[in-house]
Amino acid sequence: MNLIFENIIFLSSEIILILTALILLMLGAFKKKNSAKIVIYFSFIILIFLSFLEILIPWNSVNIFNNSITQNGFTRLVKAMIYFSSSFAIILSARWLIKYDDKAFEYPILILFSVLGMSLMVSANDLITLYLAIELQSLPLYVLASFKRDNAESSEAGVKYFVLGALSSSLFLFGSSLVYGFSGSIEFDGIYNNIQALETNTAIIIGLVFILSGLIFKISAVPFHMWTPDVYQGSATPVTAFFATAPKLTALCMLINILYGPLSGMQESWYQIVFFVSMASIALGTFSAIRQTNIKRLLAYSSIAHMGFALIGLLSFPNFDGVQSLLIYMLIYLATTLGVFSCIISLEISEGESINEINDLSGISKKFPFTAFTMAMFMFSYAGIPPLGGFFAKYFIFRSAIESGLIFLSIFGLLLSVVGAFYYIRIIKLMYFDEPKTIITKSLSKSLSFTNIVCIIFIVFFIFIITIAPITELTKNAAIALGN
């Protein structure tokens, strides 16, 4: 009993999270009026609070609950990032949700449960906990994808996501069982030690490939990327904003946890896979995005390319600098993506319906100069043009790559980022050089403007923020904590 109490304190943020979710569920069920609004803003505040809690409380590395969960600097920083980005994803949806159905209080609660799953995913220390956490994270996401229940595309997106997601979970489970069967342990440390002791074992390599397939599905990297454009397009735009941010970060960090932890002994096996996945994602994401006309499909392909860039950070193993660059890259990616979505959601073609086609953006700079300006800055940031945040993201990633001698991959990635710049500046061209075509109104939502302003400040003044705020130290400490 005492042991449980000693351990439970390290899970305080998860426990606060689940209590909040349950209380809000009750509140929503019994209070009919305005329930969605209250639930949204309450969960926003709780998530912001938790993200500061994760950063500010002392960072000790502990393994709790019989080594099934680990807490260290890395997991804490990642969790703070997850909470922070999810909180903004929740308020992005505020206006849409209230317009769509003001009794739909389940929406933020589903996000809270999914966030709980994510936070357990990054801190899982054995395969069973990890699998349960993945399922806890995914199930609410399937529901969210089909949340617009009167819309055929949204239901289609939900079903597609569910079927493919279940397949990837089963691949992951099969891989875990192989790894467990041949290494004799489900704990990460045990697997690591046993793999070190064994000679090269084909079955474990097969297990590794299956586990990797499951995880690569979650970060939507090539070759398991096909669901991304459809799910992005079909889901409601605020839901897409959530899909594009926190789940990607979580899956990526879990990949780090597994590859740098239990499977670090098999580096030569997974290294080639990650290398290929990274290159293929960059290439496919970049070239496919060029032809898109739907803005959410474009962002889907662009996120595939960004995942490819982020994966380069994994390749500097056994040097942990890559993890630091990956975290900085993801931090900037999250801010830019949330900012882009805040612009898109605030532009409406009809009441409560945000724009879909890229051409809808044409000429908005005349009517909404500020929104157009922020959108342009986010696009330049995606393209990696200095002095915006996106440049530093690319700079850190390629610095770690060149440091580990991946000159060819770096030049490949840099050249393709020029190709990527083409479709980002095409959006700017539409907004600034073209005449207005469709009639667009701008929703006056405080939460959207708030998100937009927070993100634009982060992206434009990143150079000052990185000087004042301890971003480099936090990420460095996280990478070091992971190394220990």
Binding site for other proteins (CB under 8 A): 369, 380, 385-387, 391-392, 395, 398-399, 402-403, 407, 410-411, 414-415, 417-418, 421-422, 425, 428-429, 432-433, 463, 466-467, 471-472
Q: Which is nearer to other proteins, 112 or 406 (CB)?
A: 406
Q: Which is nearer to other proteins, 242 or 380 (CB)?
A: 380
- Separation CA 254–CA 426 (nearest Å): 34
- Separation CA 270–CA 104 (nearest Å): 43
Transcribe 429-467 into DSSP letters: HHHHHSPP-S--EE---HHHHHHHHHHHHHHHTHHHHHH
User: Taking the CB of residue 484, how many other CB atoms lie within 10 A of it?
Assistant: 9
- Separation CA 72–CA 271 (nearest Å): 25
Between the alpha carbon of residue 200 and those of residues 148, 190, 270, the distances in Å are 49, 16, 13
Q: Which is nearer to other proteins, 220 or 278 (CB)?
A: 278
Nearest-approach distance from CB 271 to other proteins, in angstroms? 21
Nearest-approach distance from CB 339 to other proteins, in angstroms? 17
Q: Which is nearer to other proteins, 55 or 206 (CB)?
A: 55
Nearest-approach distance from CB 392 to other proteins, in angstroms? 8
Q: Which is nearer to other proteins, 137 or 417 (CB)?
A: 417
Q: Which is nearer to other proteins, 134 or 416 (CB)?
A: 416
Nearest-approach distance from CB 155 to other proteins, in angstroms? 39
Q: What are phi and psi of 153, to 5 degrees?
A: -65, -35
Q: Which is nearer to other proteins, 166 or 457 (CB)?
A: 457
Between the alpha carbon of residue 159 and those of residues 144, 152, 163, 472, the distances in Å are 11, 11, 6, 41
Q: Which is nearer to other proteins, 217 or 329 (CB)?
A: 329
In the chain, % helix, strand, coil (3-state, to 5) comes to 80, 5, 20
Tell me which amino acid residue 205 is.
I
Give me the helix-helix angle, 237-244 and 321-346, nearest 10°. 170
Nearest-approach distance from CB 396 to other proteins, in angstroms? 8
Nearest-approach distance from CB 361 to other proteins, in angstroms? 15
Q: What are phi and psi of 91, to 5 degrees?
A: -75, -20
Comparing C-alpha atoms, which of 94, 57, 90, 95 is closest to residue 76? 57
Comparing C-alpha atoms, which of 306, 312, 313 is closest to residue 336? 306
Nearest-approach distance from CB 415 to other proteins, in angstroms? 7
Nearest-approach distance from CB 385 to other proteins, in angstroms? 6
